[in-house]
Structure 1
Amino acid sequence: MSFTLFPGTRLALALESLAGLSVGDALGAQYLVPGNKPADLADGRVPDSPWEWTDDTEQACCLVATLFEGAETDKHFDRDAFAERLGRTYDPYRGYGPGAVVMLREIRDGLPWPIASAAAFDGAGSCGNGAAMRAAPLGAWHADSLAHAATEGARAAEVTHSHPEGIAGGVAVTVAAAVAAAGRLDGRRPEPALLLRAVAAHTPDGLVRADLLAAATIGRADEAAHRLGNGTRALAQDTVPFALWVAARHLDDYPAAISACVAAGGDVDTTAAIAGGVVAAYTGADGIPAAWLSAREPLPAWLAAAGGE
């Protein structure tokens, strides 16, 4: 990589990734509602608007606002500010799991985030999807260094996820978005297997990394969902490898990426948020159908107030 990113460019890249993440989240969530048929999306028909986003988008907005506020003053992601914002703004009715609700309430009430994160799940820490589903804009922000993206991805994940697989999921998505954004800036689309192997090279050892390497050998979506999982278990290792397989395969085709996530079923809003955030880091917001962007519920007003929109 031979480019220099200034704060305004970083923010623009992060916001376009956030757009892809939030539209994928909001559209994917529609297919958790009875009556909305995945086959309709394959035929180009989408549910009626507005499409409400979930906790995936809310946390990603917190991340982008934190990035913006620290852009001029701190070379590292401000984890204390991020934790405070997560605790202050979270809406439990946006689809948060019970463990996340307890943790964020504790943080809001003043418990330091390292203690709250470490105490989750009887001290094992969370290996869920929270760190991964919000991470793509952070990777787009750090498109000029995969190593730095991996470091910051781990630091951001640790605010709520102390389990190694939960952290690995956050790192993998951050690096994937950095690879995608770098490919856009370089004018070179990374080949699917090369993208997945590059992500695996920066992901800590464990189940997430092992399945990323396996994903690089898979050619069909049905096989990918069968072997890698589709998020049904709501674990990073059951979700991230498949979502990144989709992103790698459809890096220049946002609608196809979201459609592949919807067709696979499972935790559709999260797989579509992850894949959508990575793909939009490559295509930019122009790759997202304008009608889909219009159908997505507006992002929270506090994001714009923080200068992040």
Structure 2
Amino acid sequence: MTDARRTRAVASLRGLAVGDALGSCFFIPDNLPSLHSRSLPPDPWWWTDDTEMACSVFAVLGRAGAIDQDALAASFAAHHDFDRGYGPGVNRMLRLIRQEGGDWRALVAESWDGRGSWGNGAAMRVAPLGAYFAHDPRHVAAQAAASAEVTHTHPEGVAGAVAVAVATALASTRPRVEGAAWLREVADHVAPGLVRDGIANAIALLPLEDARSAAASLGNGREISAQDTVPLCLWVVAKHPDDFAAAFWATASAGGDIDTTCAIVGGILGARLGLDGVPPEWLRRCEPLPDWAGVDGP
């Protein structure tokens, strides 16, 4: 990676990990009072499959300079930790690749009775890719689609990844994020469908101030689908483009799949604001990234 690409991608990955790890704390009932009071739960904060898979995206880009789908599938499988909270379909797929030499293309083609997954897994891990290719949104969209197809072949699953990656690219290269205009530009790169419709709805809901009110229409990831996850995340960034902490608390307050929605928002804003824009105490409390990701390497 060039220095600028690497700096942006590292900041995105670390922002994603912080959002993921802190967000995951709020699946623990004892920590819910911290969410309501916006106080920090006890550390360390452990990240989930969102960060583990994002590390593979980052590592493959670092080695190849582009998405090599075979290398990405191999990395997902090699570093798959069942206890990180993977969905059952991806758990099975990665286990078969690692233990039985399964062909990822055949396995993903068989998923969901051949329809492919429209889950939010491809969107949750892709922000560092958008940061890496930030100055070429069309290339971002193509590379995001390639990264998604390794596990999520349904058009909505792919669209969710494209939307997050392009949103990251545009947010990290613009001095200002003008909410409606930024969302419209993101939508221009997303294929027609439910994710794109959700982004249009997010634009209409920008006058709202409360993320919970927006989530009532946009979704909050509770259904684990791209279309009920990505639009809210983009709405939050449009509302809080320059304040990582405010964006995190707004996202978490909406409930649902909190680690994933906060990972997406954290990844976008990490790329936009850089590491200096992520609260230092939050970075310190977050579980370190794995050595194999190559974050601290050349």
TM-score normalised by length of structure 1: 0.92
- CA distance in structure 2 between the aligned counterparts of 1:87 and 1:230, rounded to whole angstroms: 28
After the TM superposition, which segments of 4 or more aligned residues of structure 1 sit over 6 Å from their partners?
none
* Cα root mean square deviation, aligned: 1.5
* Structure 2 equivalent of residue 205 of structure 1: 192
For the 8 Å contact 1:65–1:307, the answer to whether it is kept is no
SS of structure 2 residue aligned to 1:233: coil
For the 8 Å contact 1:68–1:306, the answer to whether it is kept is no
* Structure 1 equivalent of residue 29 of structure 2: 34
Alignment partner of 2:143 out of 142, 152, 159: 152
For the 8 Å contact 1:247–1:276, the answer to whether it is kept is no
- CA distance in structure 2 between the aligned counterparts of 1:295 and 1:87, rounded to whole angstroms: 27
For the 8 Å contact 1:54–1:95, the answer to whether it is kept is yes
How much does 1:8 deviate?
A: 2.1
How much does 1:111 deviate?
A: 2.1
- CA distance in structure 2 between the aligned counterparts of 1:306 and 1:43, rounded to whole angstroms: 35
How much does 1:42 deviate?
A: 5.9
- Cα deviations by residue, 1:180-237 (Å, 9 ceiling, x for unpaired): 1111xxxx21211111111110011110001101101112223310110000011101
1:98 aligns with 2:116: no
1:63 aligns with 2:36: no
For the 8 Å contact 1:62–1:86, the answer to whether it is kept is yes
* Structure 2 equivalent of residue 126 of structure 1: 117
* Structure 1 equivalent of residue 252 of structure 2: 262
For the 8 Å contact 2:126–2:144, the answer to whether it is kept is yes
1:165 aligns with 2:156: yes
243-252 or 286-295: bigger deviation? 243-252
- Cα deviations by residue, 1:268-300 (Å, 9 ceiling, x for unpaired): 000000011001111111111111001001111
- CA distance in structure 1 between the aligned counterparts of 2:62 and 2:162, rounded to whole angstroms: 20
For the 8 Å contact 2:38–2:249, the answer to whether it is kept is no
1:15 aligns with 2:10: yes
- CA distance in structure 1 between the aligned counterparts of 2:291 and 2:120, rounded to whole angstroms: 25
Opposite residue 115 of structure 2, the aligned amino acid is A
TM-score normalised by length of structure 2: 0.95
For the 8 Å contact 1:69–1:306, the answer to whether it is kept is no
Unaligned runs of 5+ in 2: none
Number of aligned positions between the proteins: 294
Alignment partner of 2:240 out of 235, 250, 268: 250
Alignment partner of 2:41 out of 44, 47, 51: 47
How much does 1:78 deviate?
A: 1.1
SS of structure 1 residue aligned to 2:30: coil
How much does 1:305 deviate?
A: 7.8
How much does 1:306 deviate?
A: 8.5
- CA distance in structure 2 between the aligned counterparts of 1:273 and 1:47, rounded to whole angstroms: 17
- CA distance in structure 2 between the aligned counterparts of 1:118 and 1:12, rounded to whole angstroms: 35
For the 8 Å contact 2:26–2:35, the answer to whether it is kept is no
The percent of aligned pairs where both chains have the same amino acid is 49
Unaligned runs of 5+ in 1: 1-5
- Cα deviations by residue, 1:103-141 (Å, 9 ceiling, x for unpaired): 111222322222121111121111111100001000001
- CA distance in structure 1 between the aligned counterparts of 2:160 and 2:95, rounded to whole angstroms: 23
- CA distance in structure 2 between the aligned counterparts of 1:93 and 1:40, rounded to whole angstroms: 24
Opposite residue 229 of structure 1, the aligned amino acid is G
SS of structure 1 residue aligned to 2:170: helix
SS of structure 2 residue aligned to 1:144: coil
- CA distance in structure 1 between the aligned counterparts of 2:147 and 2:292, rounded to whole angstroms: 20
- CA distance in structure 2 between the aligned counterparts of 1:264 and 1:51, rounded to whole angstroms: 20
